[in-house]
Amino acid sequence: MEKLTNLVYKNPPEGPREGGVAPHGGALVNRLVQADPREYAHLPALELSERGYADLELIATGVYSPLEGFLGEADYRSVVERLRLASGLPWSLPITLSVPKAEARRYRGTVRLTRGGETVGLLEVAEQYEPDRHREALEVYRTTDPAHPGVAALLAQGEVNLAGRVSLFRLDRGEFPRYHFTPRETRALFRGWRTVVAFQTRNPIHRAHEYLHKVALEHLDGLFLNPLVGATKADDVPARVRMRAYEVLLERYYPPDRVVLGVYPAAMRYAGPREAILHAISRKNYGCTHFIVGRDHAGVGSYYGPYEAQEIFEAFRPEEIGIEILKFEHTFYCRTCGSIVSARTCPHDREHHLILSGTRVRELLRSGAPLPPEFTRPEVAEVLRAAYQTI
């Protein structure tokens, strides 16, 4: 194996911030290194997909602590079957790197990882194994239907998984450098807050989201708005549009000293309940003490029940996950109540409610019709309208 004698890690691992929450597994992983990529040009190269690069970054910066690399077979099988690493620590999704079987023999020892042909990091291959993709689909996505985007991505992967520790040479802050933070950086930003609630969405923000944020802020010190900006389905609203919607909303309607906006550079897997657990653990590693899980978190189509992403947390003791889950029911605008409500607070029948599906919202935007102000703020509606007129 290539000896990585020239790698110098940029920061030591970090434990909990004062008054905050410990990283998952107890220490914040750091696999960011100082190295000259040219020194590794002789190594076999493995080109990463968009999701593969996202996973590399999330491992290297500690968002996926305690992972230090792509899962070996024992961890892989334990995660698929038990929602735990082989050590017993809760972990819900297999973070793996696959190659075609015919190419696997090329990847022994140390492999340089490339993105767009540029060397971005290294993988120390400790193990190769063949995953059970059928079992993985059934357990993780609860379906083998190739129409499910997560299953489709799984079936398109190579037949052999490469496992081992990774190193990342440089953090690419991508399209949103102002908002692209590592867990070490968010923990510094949160200092002074004893409690921080995280919120994630891959959808445009609307009034029901705002309601959840502000209910949480009534009880907690800070809010971490952490929209996912990695790879999503082709028909999802682009990340740049969603981020602009957040910006215009924060300019007028949120207390600036109690909110941090930062991107979550993960790729979407659409694994519903299982993905909700990974999202919670990731926000714990960012330094959050609470995480909002609403209706159909990380879902797609009708593959999961509307509240299964909340119910799955009952399979663990609260201290095992280590971040408090705030469970909200579906919220909507009631014309008679004159406010955002839920079935727990509104006595009126459905005909009093303004509920727009994502499909209906996209139809209105494509036609140029206005979105009701009861559904979303006018400033956000204008961002969406302008974007859809150019898509």
List the domain boundaries for the chain. Answer: 8-168, 178-388
The residues, ordered by sequence, that sit 6+ positions from 269 with a Cβ below 8 Å of its Cβ are: 93, 150, 153, 275, 298
Cα–Cα distance measured from residue 378 to residue 248, given in angstroms and rounded to the nearest whole number: 10
How would you write the pLDDT of the chain (391 residues) with one tens digit per residue?
Answer: 344 434 444 444 444 444 479 999 999 999 999 999 999 999 999 999 999 999 999 999 999 999 999 999 999 999 999 999 999 999 999 999 999 999 999 999 999 999 999 999 999 999 999 999 999 999 999 999 999 999 999 999 999 999 999 999 999 999 999 999 999 999 999 999 999 999 998 888 899 999 999 999 999 999 999 999 999 988 888 999 999 999 999 999 999 999 999 999 999 999 999 999 999 999 999 999 999 999 999 999 999 999 999 999 999 999 999 999 999 999 999 999 999 999 999 999 999 999 988 778 878 888 888 899 999 999 999 999 898 887 6
User: Among the CATH numbers 3.30.70.20, 3.40.190.10, 3.40.1380.10, 3.10.400.10, which is that of 8-168?
Assistant: 3.10.400.10
Q: Which of 202, 207, 242, 377 is catalytic?
A: 202
Tell me whether residue 252 is one of the annotated catalytic residues: no
Q: Which of 203, 295, 362, 385 is catalytic?
A: 203
Q: Between vectors from CA 94 to CA 15 and to CA 123, what angle results, nearest 5°?
A: 70
Q: What is the pTM of this model?
A: 0.93
Determine the angle formed by the axes of helices 358-367 and 378-388, rounding to 10 degrees.
70
> What's the CATH superfamily of 178-388?
HUPs (3.40.50.620)
Tell me whether residue 6 is one of the annotated catalytic residues: no
Cα–Cα distance measured from residue 386 to residue 37, given in angstroms and rounded to the nearest whole number: 42
Element (H, E) at 340: strand 339-342
